[in-house]
Amino acid sequence: METLENMAFANERRRGMSGFPLLTRRQFSLAPVLSSLAGGLLAQAPRARRPNVVLIVLDDLGFADLGCYGSEIRTPNIDRLAASGLRYNNFHTTALCSPSRACLLTGRNHHTVGVRTITNYASQAENNRGKITERAATLPQILLQGGYNTFALGKWHLAPIWETTAAGPYDNWPLAKGFERYYGFLDGGTDQFHPELVEDNHWVDPPRCAGYHLTEDLADHAIAFLRDQQSVRPDKPFFLYLAPGAPHAPHQAPKEFIDRYRGAYDVGWDRIRGQRFARMKLMGVIPADADLAPRNEGVRPWNDLGADDRRVFARFQEAYAGFVEHADYHIGRVLDFLARLHQQDNAIVMLMSDNGASGEGGPNGTFSILRGVNGIETSAADNLAHIDDIGTDKLENHYPQGWAQVGNTPFQRYKQSVHYGGIRDPLVVSWPEGIKDRGAIRPQFHHIIDILPTVLEAAGLRAPEVYRGVQQIPVAGISMQYTFADASAPGRRSTQYFEMQGNRGIYHDGWKAVVFHNKGVPFDKDRWELYRVAEDFSEVHDLAAARPEKLQEMQALFLSEARRYGVLPLDDRTQELRLEAKPDAPQNRNHFVYYAGMAHVTPSATPDTRNRSYEITALVERPDRWSDGVLVAFGGATSGYVLYILNNRLVHEYDAAGTVYKVESNAEVPAGKSTLRFTFEKTGDLQGWGRLSINGRAAGEVFMPRTLPVMISYEGLDVGRDSLSPVSESYRDRGEFPFQGTIEAVIFDLK
């Protein structure tokens, strides 16, 4: 029964500021106009009450990491969303973030639209351009032309990273792909306390306020976008795409959330995994006869670990759990605001993960995610030295593989693999006006490409055959709406291929063939596995030897689907592609001149100083001897380099993911104009001498025996300040530590 408060709110919405009634959606339709403009965009006139659409995409969240899927991590807001709708236990992604998001927003397979792997590894191959082809109109583009307002917040990761500078090009940024407003970060991950941030089409600084955290900031902006839209155009439906960085590494959260889990993981990952497995069966999330996959290679039994290992490994998981609960809290704020607007009943809300839990932390976890990228092993002793800072803004930590295995209960392997640990992920769907079987579980096989057609069916729209004059690739997804009312409805998706960096899989009619590819091994030497997943929920009973004819049939089907969707030729390169020169990239030169006050520059557009000699020259003027500050900074708290003046001394620091090489001038920097220089002379592979000079005079040197080969930092470059997390502890308490004098230019010359 509608309350008086609800009725009053509805009456106010129907009245304009002048007191006259607003036209309802039934009275005013754009369907005839849009149909002619969009080449048949609309399948029918929009419904009188088209649903609002909210897609929430969590990052690196495992199948078993939510309370409503059996986790001990508290997620009350997501759990109540599940209680008002459905949970899917047979939903699949691509195993990696950019490809999954490309599938989600286009309804096509990721190779087809040009996003074979993450955009950082883009190449010139047609299936790996690192951006969505114009031949695949996105969900926000379709909804926008269908009369929706469209908003995106959080992670994008669908543009070539070297195109994400203040100089553009902007044609692969969110606003060019159908969103009217955007606030978030463009790369694959970011520091949660000091994020790289973009608003609409320009870079912005993160707010510098006590207790800042990105997830809260994204929720604030989501609420602001909705408040503005509903205040002015309550007659229009909206599409909200909320993609927090959580719980992708670095696993960082406010202390009070991490403290809630103190001691909770001292029992270890084996017991926690067993508890989740039992709880999932009781909840009906997995079948009662499901098996628990064997321990992943490299994960040691908890009881075999030493006391120090157990202590630091438990602390890593405490930070992760706090991070997840913190994300749930702020997702709850957005859901509560929908309720306050009385929009929750006619809102279709879908919450999912983009892939399985990540094993990228290695067997010991790490206090700096840059260590693994650069091939630096992190020992438990290394981590123990930083134990009190895990989860804070001083580290960019990632948990060990043992906890990722827990996140992917009951499956084997992790993110990047196309075994179930990488691709079978949680999906919660709530739509009070469209789903009556609330709190139920749905077992039908579906894939992330099926989200777009599901939303379009609910909105009464269809994908265009021609968009902006370009013939479109047919949508490959299948609407899931048939499952909303009937748990026993036969599944309508019979076949789906998987491929990620050489790992391959094919599902067909309850069977799955899959191969884990070891990089560098010839593809024809890979060993395929075969599972009857209709009966073997956890993918643990390999039938390849017993059913060779079925395996051959599935392999042939994989090749057929691979040819159909542009998968071939296979390519297992990853970091090698990151290192390749990209046409038209800002890095394609050896001389760079930067000016004070410029916008932050992403890492993939900065001077490539790796494994070569180079010079950094700062032309400055100090009005007095107290004029200190950062001249140029690249990177953040656990990796990067910085040139700065402090206490009248010129200082250069290079943090090689935890190993710091520091040189301080043996002479003072004078007041007035000066030419200040840091020179790196390469003397061997990844090593050399770092030298300072002031006005042409040598001022100090340091030997740097190991610089980083692949990636110096996830954070980019600033001139005249250090806008994000501080590269040096020397000025941590000074904020951005802006230079107090004048910088004419900072010049990089690469040899």
DSSP string computed for 569-589: SP---SHHHHHS--TT-TTS-
Residue closest to 55 by CA, chosen among 342, 357, 458, 358:
458
Q: What's the pLDDT score for residue 4? A: 28
Q: In order along the chain (751 residues), what is the average pLDDT of each group of 10 residues?
A: 32 30 30 35 51 98 98 98 98 98 98 97 95 98 98 98 94 98 97 97 94 98 98 96 98 98 98 98 98 97 97 98 98 97 93 98 96 93 96 97 98 98 98 96 98 98 97 98 97 98 98 97 97 98 98 98 98 91 89 96 94 98 96 96 98 97 98 98 98 98 97 95 97 96 98 94
Burial of 574 (0-12, 13-18, 19+ CB in 10 A): middle
Q: In a 3-state reduction of DSSP, which class is residue 667? A: strand
Q: What's the pLDDT score for residue 49? A: 81
Q: In a 3-state reduction of DSSP, which class is residue 485? A: coil
Q: Residues 655, 638: contact at Cβ < 8 Å? A: yes
Q: Residues 218, 183: contact at Cβ < 8 Å? A: yes
Q: Residues 131, 451: contact at Cβ < 8 Å? A: no
Q: Position of tokens 């998981």?
A: 317
State the Cα–Cα distance between residues 699 and 675, nearest whole angstrom: 12
Q: What's the pLDDT score for residue 360? A: 97
**123, 449, 487 from 445: Cα distances, Å:** 32, 12, 12
**Which CATH architecture is the domain 495-575 placed in?**
2-Layer Sandwich (3.30)
The 10 Å Cβ neighbour count of residue 358 is: 27
pTM over 0.85: yes
Write the DSSP symbol of residue 344: S
Q: Which of 92, 97, 103, 446 is catalytic?
A: 97
Phi first, then psi, for residue 473 (nearest 5°) are: -70, 135
Residue closest to 162 by CA, chosen among 751, 501, 607, 592:
607
Q: What's the pLDDT score for residue 583? A: 84
State the Cα–Cα distance between residues 724 and 642, nearest whole angstrom: 12
Residue closest to 487 by CA, chosen among 537, 440, 451:
440
Q: Where are the domains of the chain?
A: 46-483, 495-575, 586-750
Q: Which helix (H) or strand (E) holds 693?
A: strand 687-694
- Helices (H), ranges, 341-470: 369-373, 380-384, 401-407, 420-423, 451-459
Dihedral of the alpha carbons of 285, 485, 151, 467, in degrees to the nearest 10: 120
- Helices (H), ranges, 521-574: 548-564
Tokens of 254: 């406010």
Roughly how many angstroms between the first and final C-alpha of the chain, as a whole number? 75
Which CATH number is 586-750 given? 2.60.120.200
Q: What angle do CA 444, 448, 450 make, to 5 degrees?
A: 65
**60, 69, 255, 604 from 76: Cα distances, Å:** 19, 12, 19, 39
Q: Which of 111, 157, 419, 652 is catalytic?
A: 157
Which CATH number is 46-483 given? 3.40.720.10
Tokens of 669: 């920097």
Q: What's the pLDDT score for residue 344? A: 87
Q: What's the pLDDT score for residue 257? A: 98
The 10 Å Cβ neighbour count of residue 429 is: 26
The 10 Å Cβ neighbour count of residue 167 is: 11
State the Cα–Cα distance between residues 589 and 584, nearest whole angstrom: 10
E strand map for 161-305: 181-185, 197-199, 202-204, 238-243
Residue closest to 196 by CA, chosen among 606, 587, 574:
606
209 is catalytic: no
E strand map for 191-271: 197-199, 202-204, 238-243
Fold equal for 46-483 and 586-750: no
Q: In a 3-state reduction of DSSP, which class is residue 71? A: coil
Q: Residues 402, 269: contact at Cβ < 8 Å? A: yes
Q: Residues 727, 655: contact at Cβ < 8 Å? A: yes
Q: Which helix (H) or strand (E) holds 37?
A: helix 31-37
Phi first, then psi, for residue 609 (nearest 5°) are: -90, 0
Tokens of 530: 């075969």
97 is catalytic: yes
